[in-house]
Amino acid sequence: MTHAAIHSSRRHFLSQIAIGAAAFTARGAFAEELTRTPAQTEGPFYPDKLPLDTDNDLLIVNDAITPAVGQVTHLSGRILDVRGEPLRNAVVEIWEADNTGTYIHTRSASQRQGDENFQGFGRFVTGLSGEYYFRTIKPTPYGPRTAHIHFAVKTKGRDRFTTECYVKGEPQNKQDSLLNRIRDARARRSLIVDFAPVANSRIGELAARFDITLGSTA
């Protein structure tokens, strides 16, 4: 995978995201109340020291040439309220382990040698449509945990909300204690999304869509 190929594919996908976002600007006043995204623990490995680069491209750190190891994933979605209304200016953070199962956290990094080319953490501020976008890697299982990506969302008038996104079809989902702690089946399914191949991608990219529905204001 060349640096040029990665950035070319990123530009193409970002243009598609921009086109698609326009379709989500319609207000949700006539929709039924949406299923609220279940909250989950922040976990022990939210970065204890944020990286210098905190943009929404986790595959490239600053101006490095070498990308992170892993299957390129375009992760997008919207931040909504229960009426389906998009939430503007929501600060969306994600963090996940690299392909070795290492987080950017001193307790995690001390256990093994991680991928120094993986940013591990990213941040995005939503616009009018409530849309966010990250370029990252497909998560992989490690230890007792199934594959997952951590999310945190902060919006005006609401407490900081944390949850996790899981991979549809991952066998370890059935044994994951945190995922199965959610007793409501519909709510649990809302955290599990398809990581699908991007059509005509020359480097085997994936796309995943994960919408987050927040409850009433704090």
Is residue 214 a contact partner of residue 37, using CB atoms and an 8 Å limit?
Answer: yes
**For 107-170, where are the E strands, in sequence order?**
121-125, 131-137, 148-154, 161-167
- 3 state DSSP class of 175: helix
Residue with token string 């990250």: 134
Closest CA to 80 of 17, 29, 16: 29
Going by the DSSP 8-state scheme, the letter that residue 56 receives in this structure is S
Question: In the sheet that 192-193 helps form, which strands lie side by side, from edge to edge?
Answer: 121-125, 91-95, 148-154, 161-167, 192-193
Could you give the residue numbers annotated as active site?
103, 142, 145, 148, 150
CA distance 178 to 213: 19
CB atoms within 10 A of CB 14: 15
CB 202 within 8 A of CB 5: yes
The token pair at 59 is: 């595959």
Distance from first CA to last CA of the chain, Å, rounded? 45
> What does residue 108 show for φ and ψ, rounded to 5 degrees?
-80, -45
